[in-house]
Amino acid sequence: MPVMPDSFSWVRSTLGEAACLTLAPDATTDEVATAFGCDQLDEDAATFADADGHDRQDGGEAWLTQDEGNVLTIEVNGFEGTRPEVLRQVSKASAKGLAASIFWNVNEMVIFTAARKGKVVCSVELLDVDPEDVPRSLRRLAALTADETVDAVAVGAAMASVFTGVGIEPAAISQASRRTLVPVPDAFDSPPLDDWRLLNEGAPHVVTAVGTRDEQWCRDLALWAARAAATEAGVVNESPVQDLFIQLGNGEISTLPAALLPVISRWEREQQAWEKEHPHWDGDDPWSTALEGDFIRQRSLVGRTLRLTAHPDARQAAIQVVDHAELVFRRTHHERPLEFVEDQRGRRWGQQPEWAHLRARQFLEAATTAAFTPSPDWNALTEQLPAPLSSEERAEIIRLDGLRQAQGDFDTYQWG
């Protein structure tokens, strides 16, 4: 008998208007608590049912319970269960290698995330989900959220139950015990500063400044560069992106906002889908344009840029964010950034002209100005950047490139 969302209609009212529920089959509470970063020495004898609402509202705790060999983790006003760094480890704690979470908040954001054997297989916002983006066994349920009258939290809970095989009962949740959460740090690489080729070649003074300025200067540089990249890619006004910048401005850099993770995942999926459909540029599809692909890759690059703002090392955050932001600026084109030259056999090959990277150069020049200034005027530096393309301008660029493709302007060469 198929699992129905109606069976989980109690979840939102029981856990509150903002919460995260994570399921792990065939696991122990200690193993899951470790994956969440719980303080193992701070376990409260009180149960979820015993605690009043005030005791469960600070978001710095998790409530864990084991039911029939499965572990349920509840976070009120928390979202650790949505984070890849956490859910990957929770799936490893499961003997079946599975874990899933459902998160919701007061802004009607409902996020479903699933992991298998240490790898996140999907992270989607259920109120704007393409059923093709979730595992096949969950598509029927995901499609139900197209109906605005359906409780998306109940749908997400049903999806988590189906994916993990874990049942969710109010009685089990009421017996959950409290543990203090210590947020798990994001997983980041920290290569030596002199390994950053693009910056050493294009803006060596930025590399030098990052190595000598204080941590707050580095954090400010990372925030400025990330905002510049998001603006360049046309995504700066998306609510989760704004939430990140507010968080960074307040000095909160340990984790990304929960609502931002599925947005970044969506940008990454769009790039993967594009590259799957267009493994190389051969002109087979006259209405798919190369410049559309560049704009799609640009958004994916912004996602990586935003992730890097949470690097625990301020200098690494600064250097890596600036490095990735420079690549974002390189992806803005008004026309194909290649000049084609016919060789002796009549074949044509492309060479990227210098003008293609003028926008990236302007960005690095502004970053270099900051490098020479102990207390930069970040707003003034932003004014030095090229004006970003509007959504209408991007659409027109894509349309014109598609027309040229359809007219055969690019038939004699490959690009890619």
Domain boundaries, given as residue ranges, for the chain: 5-181, 193-406
Range 11-17 contact pairs with CB under 8 angstroms and sequence separation of 24 or more? 11/102, 11/153, 11/154, 11/157, 11/168, 12/104, 12/151, 12/153, 12/154, 14/170, 14/173, 15/74, 15/76, 15/173, 16/53, 16/56, 16/76, 16/77, 17/104, 17/105, 17/106
**Cα–chain-centroid distance for residue 147?**
26
List of residues 6+ apart from 140 with CB closer than 8 A: 2, 131
Query: Beta-carbon neighbour count of residue 164 at 10 Å?
Result: 26
| pLDDT for position 286 | 42
- Write phi, then psi, for 20 (nearest 5 degrees): -140, 130
| pLDDT for position 57 | 52
Q: Where are the alpha helices (DSSP H) in 20-73?
A: 29-36
How far apart (Å, rounded) are the C-alpha atoms in residues 97 and 55? 32
Contact 84, 16 (CB under 8 A): no
Contact 335, 401 (CB under 8 A): yes
| pLDDT for position 367 | 95
Beta-strand runs (E) in 300-387: 339-342, 348-351
Rg of the chain taking only CA atoms, in angstroms: 24
* Burial of 90 (C-beta count, 10 Å sphere; 0-12/13-18/19+): buried
Query: Beta-carbon neighbour count of residue 213 at 10 Å?
Result: 19
How far apart (Å, rounded) are the C-alpha atoms in residues 19 and 106? 9
Closest CA to 299 of 386, 234, 255: 234
| pLDDT for position 345 | 53
| pLDDT for position 408 | 76
How far apart (Å, rounded) are the C-alpha atoms in residues 202 and 125? 38
How far apart (Å, rounded) are the C-alpha atoms in residues 227 and 327? 14
Token reading at 94: 């499961």
For β-strands 98-104 and 348-351, DSSP reports them as: unpaired
Distances (CA, A) of 394 to 238, 383, 390: 17, 21, 6
How far apart (Å, rounded) are the C-alpha atoms in residues 206 and 323? 10
Give the dihedral of Cα atoms 317, 185, 248, 246; nearest 10 deg: 140
How far apart (Å, rounded) are the C-alpha atoms in residues 395 and 397? 6
List of residues 6+ apart from 293 with CB closer than 8 A: 274, 275, 278
Closest CA to 61 of 176, 178, 171, 153: 178
Blockwise average pLDDT, block size 10, the chain, 416 residues? 85 92 96 86 75 56 92 92 92 97 91 95 91 94 93 97 94 89 72 68 85 94 98 95 93 81 84 70 52 90 93 91 93 71 54 63 94 94 95 91 79 50
Token reading at 297: 């890759």
Distances (CA, A) of 333 to 130, 285, 289, 401: 29, 20, 12, 11
pTM over cut 0.75: no
Q: Where are the alpha helices (DSSP H) in 129-190?
A: 139-143, 152-164, 170-174
| pLDDT for position 65 | 94
Token reading at 105: 């908040």
